Structure 1
Amino acid sequence: MEGIVTMYQDFMKKADPRIADYPLMQSPFLVMGILLAYVYFVLSLGPRLMANRKPLNLKKFMVLYNFFLVGLSLYIVYEFLMAGWLTGYTWRCDPVDFSQDPKALRMVSVAWLFVFSKFIELTDTVIFVLRKKNEQVTFLHLFHHSVLPWSWWWGAKFGPGGMGSFHAMINSMVHVVMYFYYGLSAAGPAFQKYLWWKKHITAIQLAQFVIVSVHISQYYFMPSCQYQFPIFIHLIWIYGTIFFILFSNFWYQSYTKGKRLPRVAQQAAQHNGSSIHENGTVTNGKVKAN
């Protein structure tokens, strides 16, 4: 046991010291505890607490919450661009700048903010549970909201910036569109006429995974690349592929297979809960995760 502790301490010494004092970045065990508590709440404790209670009316909160995340995501995109992607990065093999240069420190800051935003977004699932929309807590949704923040934490802890940060910037761009849609959806029936483009959100998400995978795949065809963390490259490529498959299946279930339903069946499905829901879309029983 003492040897394991020593190995862990030696490993953590390689982390970027510039991010050590940011909230949540001191230890992976704190983050692990938060994510485990999140999974326990949404899969067990939350549904049991709500079993004999009426769904909470959170519409006003949801409008504020979703549009707050629109603003936060926009700010994160802007900071990524100003910290490197429009101010010096080549968009090919960009190593992490570990210096004290103001632009490098700005990248550290936005990398942390991106990770922190993922913990804010755990509220998505809490909302589902409190509104008794437990059918929306799918494998895709839970995987996205629990496993990926864990991975992103390690990315920011050891390599905030460089080639590996491209996917975070693209993800934040997608979240601007996505949470804007959810904000309108939460605003009530008066805004339903503005939600005709729900299908395009999935298309944008699929495009995200293609763009990220193409960008990261450059690494495998370069004669040399000084990016310091090849493991992050491999993980980003694997995640991009997995999510492309999962969201392609959602597209098929919702917009291909679902469209084959007779009109009467479609109307019946809508009365059974298969319509637009705040912070998620359900079509023919298939749920789209944030």
Structure 2
Amino acid sequence: MNETHGHVFQNLFKELKSDKTIDSWLFVNSPWPVCSILALYLTFVFKLGPKLMKNREPINIKYMVLFYNLMQTIFNSYILAYQLIRPEVFNYLWNHACHPDNTKSNIAHEIHVASWYFAFSKILDLLDTVFFVLKKKQSHISFLHVYHHVNMVITCFAHLRFIKSENAAIGTIINSFVHVVMYSYYFLTALGPSIQKHLWWKKYLTRIQIIQFIIGMLYCAGLFVFNCTFSRIFIAYIFADVFLFLYLFVKFYKKTYKQKNKTQ
């Protein structure tokens, strides 16, 4: 058993990568800023926020939320376009999705830049929960919600610091698209009841998220099946992580929409 554990740790250290340029980027060069942000986030969401709002009416932050959702829609569209408008990115992923190009090509660097933008967007996503607290919607702050946000921040920046795999571009593209759809919906919802009554596609947001998790798991499995060059321990972690997300989102979907149908 000890030999097995030693072999696993040995492989893990072999898979870790360093790059002077990427390792110098904001939030990548040190874990403390990200850890501090997450500590502040959790403290506000579970302690300071509820205490602050306990004897107060919900704060009217309609225009702040509108701006935030619009900004997130634009930012995620930019992350998506940053990769899709470059034909060389598609060609790179088509030719090197299984075996990354080790010649330190410029396009690989651009993929890592997009990964940083994506990781930063996950920090911005934390404001979702802050708004729930300020609007006194503490019931919206579920384990799934908080775990999802915290986990994404840690995973994205840990990937940039230690793994630096171009395989992440697939997930970045898919998830950015999902967030464009999601924040577009949130923006329209925040406009008020006159718009909300026309938004019939809320439940499909969760379906899209579930589909992205299935695609992610199939992709991770494919990397193993075709014996691709990648960080096996990290991809195994991603597979397990995405599987947990899939389970939690399916559970949420059934609870929210199946029970709702029964009561109608």
TM over 0.5: yes
The worse-fitting range, judged by mean Cα deviation, of 177-186 and 22-31 is: 22-31
TM-score by length of 1: 0.80
The worse-fitting range, judged by mean Cα deviation, of 152-161 and 114-123 is: 152-161
Q: How many Å separate the matches in 1 of 2:66 and 2:262?
A: 33
1:207 to 206, 211, 219: 211
1:230 to 222, 229, 232: 232
2:93 corresponds to 1:93: no
CA contact (8 A) 2:70 2:187 kept: yes
2:32 corresponds to 1:47: no
Q: Supply the RMSD in Å over aligned alpha carbons.
A: 2.1
Corresponding residue for 2:149? Answer: 145
**Pair 1:152–1:174, CA change in 2 (3 A):** same
Runs (5+) with no aligned partner, structure 2? 1-12
Corresponding residue for 2:61? Answer: 58
Amino acid at match of 1:253: K
Hey, which of these two has a bigger chunk of helix by percent? 2
Runs (5+) with no aligned partner, structure 1? 1-9, 264-290
CA shift, 1:165, in A, is 3.0
TM-score by length of 2: 0.87
Corresponding residue for 1:285? Answer: none
**Pair 1:92–1:191, CA change in 2 (3 A):** same
**After the TM superposition, which parts of structure 1 deviate over 4 Å for at least 4 consecutive aligned residues?**
none
The worse-fitting range, judged by mean Cα deviation, of 213-222 and 159-168 is: 159-168
1:209-234 deviations in Å (ceiling 9; x for gaps): 01111111112211x3222x222211
Corresponding residue for 2:194? Answer: 190
Q: How many matched pairs?
A: 249
CA shift, 1:250, in A, is 1.1
1:150-185 deviations in Å (ceiling 9; x for gaps): 011111123334223322221111001000000000
Q: How many Å separate the matches in 1 of 2:206 and 2:101?
A: 31
CA contact (8 A) 1:83 1:107 kept: no
Amino acid at match of 2:46: L
CA contact (8 A) 2:29 2:161 kept: no
CA shift, 1:15, in A, is 2.7
Q: How many Å separate the matches in 1 of 2:253 and 2:66?
A: 26
Amino acid at match of 1:202: T
CA contact (8 A) 1:94 1:162 kept: no
- Secondary structure of 1:43's match? helix
